Amino acid sequence: MAMNRSARITGAGLLLSLLAGLLIGLGGYTAKFAEATSYLSDDPKACVNCHVMREPHDSWARGLHHAVANCNDCHVPADLLPRYLTKAVHGWRHSKAFTLQNFHEPIRIAPDDLKIIENNCVRCHTEMSGHMAALPGPKGLEATNCTHCHGSVGHGPRR
């Protein structure tokens, strides 16, 4: 009887191993196909792995910040742990949206991500903007919003 139990455990273990291998294999294939490791870098070319990011990338190339800032300088926090946590959240959100094909074109920024951009504007431009953080926002906005007036700085004018 001990032999049968051992055989059942081995069969269950084999099935579990096969399922784990299948999940790891599919995950690895998906990561390779989606060029997932490129998103860990600061290379702006990673952003155009998806066609929906072509226009924002091209407008950044025409914008004023092209020579001094890459995508991550504005779109993710500067500190190491929040930076990679944000990249993970963005990766999950983007991969889900692109897989399910439920994203807006042109792509739109989420409100939480706009806060990251605002923080990065102030961080890089403290000398110019430090005194503005306490000012009321324009036309009923709760706080000063850099992109309200300077929306084309990071991405340049739309064609």
Question: Is the per-residue pLDDT at 35 higher than 90?
Answer: no
Residue 157 counted as domain residue: no
pLDDT tier for residue 147 given thresholds of 50, 70 and 90: confident
More confident residue, 105 or 142: 105
Residues 13, 67 within the same domain: no
Kindly report the pTM of this predicted structure. 0.71
DSSP 94-141: HHHHHHHT---SS----HHHHHHHHHHHHHHTHHHHGGGTTSPPGGG-
More confident residue, 68 or 2: 68
Give the domain extent around 141.
41-150
pLDDT tier for residue 148 given thresholds of 50, 70 and 90: confident
Share of the chain above pLDDT 70, in %: 82
Furthest-apart CA pair in the chain: how many Å? Answer: 80
Residue 80 counted as domain residue: yes
Residue 91 counted as domain residue: yes
For the ranges 7-11, 45-49, 108-112, the maximum mean pLDDT occurs at 108-112
Would you state the pLDDT for residue 32?
81
Overall average pLDDT of the 130-145 stretch: 60
Residues 80, 4 within the same domain: no
Q: CATH number of the domain that 58 lies in?
A: 1.10.3820.10
Overall average pLDDT of the 91-100 stretch: 84
More confident residue, 10 or 112: 112
Rounded Cα distance, 94 and 96, in Å: 5
